[in-house]
């Protein structure tokens, strides 16, 4: 059985980042235990493989959970300091027009390579195929049982991620390990995820992407997001949907609305369509051509029970404007944890100190997605992963 000063459970973004910090002073006394055959598998998928590691439009409003704890972490690890540290590791970045921060290479693999180089060069050990099955209190530390054998450490960092994207090994099993140490776990739900919906009148749009606004009203609250909307056979996805999913109540079915032309007002659209209809030379389908996607136009006519070749009228134009700006979408659920980008819920932040150390198990730390903190789409969750890992790393260095 090998002994370490620090064992990091999980070789994802937060696990690798904290390894770079601890490696400088502790070297081979630190090891990462990774359940997969290699580290960073989920990181490689970030930003569609381009490595969206942050966002210039940082705001606490982009995060959901304990605002005081979130603020405390980011006050100690502000975005500029985080980016400066990543640059010191060789990760050079730039932001796109929407503020999303990427490596200049636009390859998530380059972020992975630089993080690994940083901690491996200091002697941090990387142990793969080492899924942890138990964490037991032991004299002066903790005994970890894994598929690769048993390991002992004075300090343990949980950096496994939550339950989302289980194809990357994040299946939520770490929550059971934390429960065994006395922690509780809030209700978990997939977030930044595609939505399943009744696609009866959105057929044959699979793969079509458009700029739209999707909204939902429950109680007296209306939430909405504008951006990419991507259609599939079973529902909708895209940036706007991912952002909306983070704010939806987990009670389905839900009646949502799609505004297919958010850049133009309802009144202006109705006026334009009525003016076009008054020329008396366009059919119902032709009225909508150049206005909306042709296949969606056909679906709209089918929904209204109108033949494609009948003459367009002013009253028909008014009805079309209403449906284009307020198309009903019956959302039946989410696409699930398997394809979700992040997990909503986790270990309550009241169960850790301001340094993210467990209040139930001294020397055990939690960072990243395991905590009941989640961010919006656009790099915010990786910012939390890096910032929370930095707080943990600094705390352990001060302690030791």
Q: Both 174 and 317 in a single domain?
A: no
The Cα 120–Cα 40 span in angstroms is 14
The Cα 221–Cα 218 span in angstroms is 6
Q: Both 280 and 365 in a single domain?
A: no
Q: Both 123 and 203 in a single domain?
A: no
Tens digit of pLDDT per residue, the chain (400 long)?
Answer: 899 999 999 999 999 999 999 999 999 999 999 999 999 999 998 988 999 999 999 999 999 999 999 999 999 999 999 999 999 999 999 999 999 999 999 999 999 999 999 999 999 999 999 999 999 998 899 999 999 999 999 999 999 999 998 778 788 999 999 999 999 999 999 999 999 999 999 989 999 999 999 999 888 889 999 999 999 999 999 999 999 998 888 889 999 999 999 999 999 999 999 999 988 789 999 999 999 999 999 999 999 999 999 999 999 999 999 999 999 999 999 999 999 999 999 999 999 999 999 999 999 999 999 999 999 989 999 999 999 999 999 999 998 7
Q: Both 143 and 208 in a single domain?
A: no
The answer to whether the CB of 3 falls within 8 A of the CB of 152 is: yes
Q: Both 235 and 273 in a single domain?
A: no
**Cα dihedral 49, 51, 57, 62 sign:** positive
Tell me which residue range forms the domain holding 282.
266-325
The Cα 131–Cα 146 span in angstroms is 5
DSSP states along 104-136: TT--HHHHHHHHHHHHHTTT-EEE-S--EEEEE
- The domain that holds 83 is classified in CATH as 3.50.50.60
Which helix (H) or strand (E) segment is 164 a member of?
none
Q: Rounded to the nearest 5°, which phi and psi values hold at 165?
A: 65, 50
The DSSP bridge partners found for residue 205 are none
Q: Both 47 and 169 in a single domain?
A: yes
**How distant is the alpha carbon of residue 52 from its chain centre?**
11
Q: Both 25 and 83 in a single domain?
A: yes
To which residue do tokens 């995820």 refer?
193
Q: Both 17 and 166 in a single domain?
A: yes
Total domains in the fold of the chain? 3
Domain ends where: 275, 299, 325? 325
The SS3 call for residue 56 is coil
Q: Both 221 and 171 in a single domain?
A: no
To which residue do tokens 């969606």 refer?
296
What lies within 8 Å, CB to CB, of 398 at 6+ separation is none
- The domain that holds 251 is classified in CATH as 2.40.30.10
The answer to whether the CB of 69 falls within 8 A of the CB of 354 is: yes
The Cα 89–Cα 77 span in angstroms is 16
Q: How far is CA 311 from CA 289, 300, 376, in A?
A: 14, 16, 46
Q: Both 8 and 67 in a single domain?
A: yes
Burial group, residue 251, by CB count within 10 angstroms (0-12, 13-18, 19+): exposed
Domain ends where: 334, 353, 380? 334
Q: Both 222 and 301 in a single domain?
A: no
Q: Both 146 and 252 in a single domain?
A: no
């Amino acid at each position: 059985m090998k002994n370490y000063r620090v064992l990091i459970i999980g070789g994802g973004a937060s696990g690798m980042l904290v390894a770079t910090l601890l490696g400088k002073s502790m070297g081979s006394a630190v090891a990462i235990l990774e359940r997969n055959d290699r580290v960073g598998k989920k990181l490689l998928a970030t930003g569609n493989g381009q490595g969206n590691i942050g966002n210039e439009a940082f705001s606490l409003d982009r995060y959901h959970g304990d605002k005081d704890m979130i603020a405390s972490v980011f006050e100690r690890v502000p975005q500029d300091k985080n980016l400066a540290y990543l640059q010191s590791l060789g990760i050079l970045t730039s932001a796109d027009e929407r503020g999303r921060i990427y490596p200049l290479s636009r390859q998530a693999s380059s972020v992975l390579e630089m993080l690994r180089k940083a901690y491996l060069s200091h002697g941090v050990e990387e142990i793969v195929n080492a899924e942890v099955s138990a964490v037991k209190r032991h004299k002066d530390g903790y005994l970890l049982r894994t598929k690769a054998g048993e390991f002992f450490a004075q300090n343990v960092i949980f950096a496994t991620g939550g339950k989302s994207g289980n194809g990357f090994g994040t299946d939520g099993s770490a929550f059971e390990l934390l429960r065994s140490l006395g922690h509780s776990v809030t209700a978990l739900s997939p977030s930044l995820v595609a939505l399943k919906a009744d696609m009866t009148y959105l057929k044959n749009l699979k793969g079509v992407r458009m700029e739209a606004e999707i909204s939902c009203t429950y109680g007296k609250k209306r939430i909405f997001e504008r951006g990419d909307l991507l259609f599939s056979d079973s529902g909708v996805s895209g940036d706007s949907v991912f952002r909306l999913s983070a704010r939806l109540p987990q009670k389905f079915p839900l009646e949502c609305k799609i505004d297919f032309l958010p850049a133009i007002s309802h009144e202006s659209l109705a006026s334009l369509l009525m003016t076009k209809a008054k020329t008396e030379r366009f059919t119902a389908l032709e009225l909508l051509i150049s206005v909306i996607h042709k296949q969606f136009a056909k679906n709209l006519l089918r929904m209204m029970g109108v033949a494609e070749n009948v003459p367009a009228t002013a009253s028909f134009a008014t009805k079309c404007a209403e449906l284009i700006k307020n198309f009903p979408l019956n959302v039946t659920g989410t696409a699930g944890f398997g394809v979700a980008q992040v997990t909503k819920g986790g270990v309550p932040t009241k169960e850790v100190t301001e340094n993210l150390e467990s209040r139930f198990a001294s020397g055990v730390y939690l960072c990243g997605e395991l905590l009941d903190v989640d961010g919006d789409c656009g790099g915010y969750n990786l910012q939390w992963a890096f910032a929370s890992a930095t707080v943990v790393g600094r705390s352990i260095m001060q302690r030791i």
